[in-house]
């Protein structure tokens, strides 16, 4: 018996055209799951990688910051195999400008995707999972679920919210057979961090502070997401797992 086996399960992962979402979607497929890929731009490469493993990949193109579209997105996801066993709320954006100049539209855009869509999709998935008596929800948090960051007030507020929501939902649904946990990635090499990696001084300072001595990659999230999606974590509720090369330990 392999407690990490996801054969026969359907995972829904948001934000899968590249970056961490791509890595996690492929990781879940490697563990045996079929995957519904929800993304703003077509996740063709991710779908091809999943199909090459002999698993099914279903694509939904959607703007998850549009609250009015989320019910249709979830119903479409459900229609492929009639169930969703695992939801990974990964889609997220960041807008970097000093707080004094931070445009209200940037604040609203970030909160709409990073926080509102996480709650609304979790609510839709939660109702379905409560009916079935099982399910896993994994929310992608951040080091800025704990720290303040610089020039990213909306992002920091949204990621603190994600950590709080993970605990709030876990408290309500743990007794219904649903595990809700989070992953807080450290500094990872994706589009999300292009801007700070382009700043030589910041890149060097951040790298020097990471005990592992390197930035993370989408591959680094495969093991943690499979653990949180599988029966190996059936007694884990409301936990946010730091996958940060030791950043928070320092
Ligand atoms: P990324 O920019 O590479 O990926 C973001 C994904 O979200 C893409 O697939 C994109 O298509 C999708 N997306 C963007 N706007 C969308 C919308 N309106 N509707 C639907 N999908 C949308 O960035 P990433 O680093 O892979 O980020 C993934 C998650 O990880 C985010 O929640 C981010 O906040 C979080 N995170 C990243 C880091 C890091 O260092 N890269 C650290 C901590 C947390």
What is the tens place of the pLDDT at every residue in 153-182? Answer: 999 999 999 999 999 999 999 999 999 999
- Report the nearest-CA residue for atom 43 of ligand 1: 142
Share of residues in the chain with pLDDT > 70 (%): 100
**For range 119-128, the mean pLDDT:** 98
Cα dihedral 14, 15, 18, 20 in deg (nearest 10): -70
pLDDT band at 69 (very low <50, low <70, confident <90, very high): very high
Nearest atom, ligand 1, residue 185 CA:
43
User: Per the structure block, which two tokens stand in for 20?
Assistant: 């961490």
User: Per the structure block, which two tokens stand in for 124?
Assistant: 């839709």
Distance between CA atoms of 132 and 22, rounded to whole angstroms? 27
Catalytic residue among 58, 155, 203, 235: 155
Query: Is 58 designated active site?
Result: no
Domain ranges of the chain: 10-242
What is the tens place of the pLDDT at every residue in 89-100? Answer: 999 999 999 999
Q: Which among 117, 68, 81 has a CA at the least distance from the CA of 9?
A: 81
- Report the nearest-CA residue for atom 12 of ligand 1: 15
What is the tens place of the pLDDT at every residue in 202-233? Answer: 999 999 999 999 999 999 999 999 999 999 99
Find the distance separating the first CA and the last CA of the chain, reported in whole Å.
Answer: 37
Q: What is the pTM of this model?
A: 0.98
pLDDT for the residue 1: 87
Q: Which residues line ligand 1 (CB under 6 A)?
A: 15-21, 39-41, 63-65, 90-93, 113, 140, 142, 185, 187-188, 190-193
Nearest atom, ligand 1, residue 112 CA:
18
With 0-12 / 13-18 / 19 or more C-beta atoms within 10 angstroms meaning exposed / middle / buried, residue 235 is exposed
Mean pLDDT (the chain) is 98
The class of domain 10-242 in CATH terms is alpha beta
Q: What is the CA radius of gyration of the chain?
A: 17
pLDDT at 11 over 90: yes
pLDDT band at 64 (very low <50, low <70, confident <90, very high): very high
pLDDT at 16 over 90: yes
Distance between CA atoms of 107 and 196, rounded to whole angstroms? 19
**For range 41-70, the mean pLDDT:** 98
**For range 96-117, the mean pLDDT:** 98
**For range 187-206, the mean pLDDT:** 94
Residue 65's alpha-carbon distances to 91, 107, 145, 219, in angstroms, are 10, 12, 20, 26
């Amino acid at each position: 018996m392999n407690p990490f086996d996801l054969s026969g399960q359907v995972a829904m992962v948001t934000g899968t055209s590249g970056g961490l979402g791509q890595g996690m979607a492929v990781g879940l497929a490697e563990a045996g799951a079929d995957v519904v890929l929800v993304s703003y731009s077509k996740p063709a490469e991710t779908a091809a990688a999943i199909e090459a493993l002999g698993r099914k990949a279903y694509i939904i193109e959607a703007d998850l910051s549009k609250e009015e579209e989320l019910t249709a997105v979830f119903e479409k996801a459900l229609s492929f195999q009639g169930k969703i066993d695992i939801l990974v709320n990964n889609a997220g954006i960041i807008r970097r400008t000093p707080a004094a100049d931070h445009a209200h539209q940037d604040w609203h855009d970030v909160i709409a995707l990073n926080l509102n869509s996480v709650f609304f999709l979790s609510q839709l998935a939660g109702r379905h999972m409560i009916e079935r008596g099982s399910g896993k929800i994994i929310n992608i948090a951040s080091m800025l679920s704990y720290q303040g960051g610089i020039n990213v007030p909306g992002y920091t507020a949204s990621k603190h919210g994600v950590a709080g929501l993970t605990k709030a939902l876990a408290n309500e649904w743990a007794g219904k057979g649903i595990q809700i946990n989070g992953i807080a990635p450290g500094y990872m090499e994706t589009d999300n961090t292009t801007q700070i990696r382009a700043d030589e001084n910041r890149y060097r300072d951040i790298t020097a502070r990471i005990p592992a001595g390197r930035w993370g990659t989408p591959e680094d999230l495969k093991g943690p997401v499979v653990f949180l999606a599988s029966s190996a974590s059936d007694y884990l509720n409301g936990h946010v797992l730091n996958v940060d090369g030791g950043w928070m330990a320092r």
